Amino acid sequence: MRICAAADIHYPRTHATRCAGLARAMCESGAEVLVLAGDISAGEEKHYRKLLRLFGDFEGPKLFVPGNHDLWSLSRHPNTPHRYHDTLRHIVERQGFRYLPGDPLAHGRVGFVGTVGWYDYAFRQPQPPQPGLRVTPLRAVRTRQGPEFVGDPARREVPWEELTPADYAGHALAWRAEDAIKRVVWNDGLHVRWGDTDAETVERLRDELAADIAAIEERVDYWVAVLHFLPFAKLLGEPAQDIEAAYVRAFLGAPAFGRLLAEHPKCRLVLCGHRHEAQVLSVGDMVLANCSVGDGKAGPLLLTVE
């Protein structure tokens, strides 16, 4: 079976001409199944309609899993569970795509399951990106006037290696660079509201994925998992020396999903995106493929599964 997959198209940040070229290449790839693994746009429904229509000529199953940008809400009071379970499902189904979370597919003897995945900061980088670096964790808050950043006076300029999961839960960080104060913000903190902590969200989404696996496992010889976020540390790359890059590693994924997939011998292929570095690796009998086309670094991935 041939599968053509891409993640991180990011329309309209990615020019419409490149999006059309990517879609045409995927439609003409000769693949039997087409997969989009998240972050195709952000917020506005008209962009989803325009992007997904580019895949209208593909005749086989077209599978969709959302990414974090797809979950972003333009509202000041985001309802992310509703956007994840209802709004996005209706948008993509109207364009002929199957929304995999909660709706696994058995295509002949091959199954497909999917989840956005999420992060619980377990992939955070413990070693400082620069020796002796001190940082101030902040909480990003959305207000009528725009984003505001609130710090805990007891957590000012702490050594990097003393950052805790509670510090990462604020989704922002500041540090001194010569005479300036620099800041990095993980924007999900402003545009996503699951109603739970990120760690609780990981647990819930992992349980939902386990239920989807149970629903198809007996009917197929093997199955393919599609996530947006990274489920294995092996996909993280080398520790970063850039402060922003080191900070965002905490938001790249969660090993809880990888542990679930590794428990299942029928899981043979794992597709993901989010980190804009396309790569194909293996863990045991599983093939892991980051199919990101983000930042124009790579094209869609065409995989043949024996």
**Interface stretch with Fe ion, choices 61-69, 204-212, 238-246, 291-299 (CB under 5 A):** 61-69
What is the H or E stretch that residue 23 is in? helix 16-27
Smallest gap from residue 216 Cβ to Fe ion (A)? 26
Contacts of 140 (CB under 8 A, 6+ apart): 147, 148, 149, 170, 171, 172, 185, 186, 187, 189, 190
**Interface stretch with Fe ion, choices 19-27, 42-50, 68-76, 163-171 (CB under 5 A):** 68-76
Tell me the per-residue interface mask from 23 to 52 with Fe ion, x by CB under 5 A, - otherwise: ----------------x-------------
What sign has the CA pseudo-torsion 10, 12, 15, 17? positive
Binding of Fe ion by 274 (CB under 5 A): yes
As given in the structure block, the two tokens for residue 250 are 């905490």
Nearer to Fe ion by Cβ, of 67 and 104: the residue is 67
Nearer to Fe ion by Cβ, of 67 and 170: the residue is 67
CA distances 219 to 92, 108, 211, 215, 271, Å, are 26, 9, 14, 8, 21
Single residue of 67, 78, 101, 137 touching Fe ion by CB under 5 A:
67
Binding of Fe ion by 68 (CB under 5 A): yes
Q: For Fe ion, how many residues bind (rule: CB under 5 A)?
A: 4
Runs of H (alpha helix) within 31-146: 45-53, 80-82, 88-94
As given in the structure block, the two tokens for residue 202 are 């990981």
Rounded distance, CA 150 to CA 73, Å? 22
Binding of Fe ion by 14 (CB under 5 A): no
Binding of Fe ion by 290 (CB under 5 A): no
Tell me the per-residue interface mask from 219 to 258 with Fe ion, x by CB under 5 A, - otherwise: ----------------------------------------
Residue facing Fe ion at closest CB distance: 274
Rounded distance, CA 101 to CA 134, Å? 40
Nearer to Fe ion by Cβ, of 72 and 112: the residue is 72
Nearer to Fe ion by Cβ, of 58 and 72: the residue is 72
Smallest gap from residue 42 Cβ to Fe ion (A)? 10
Question: Which spans of this chain sit near Fe ion (rule: CB under 5 A)?
Answer: 39, 67-68, 274
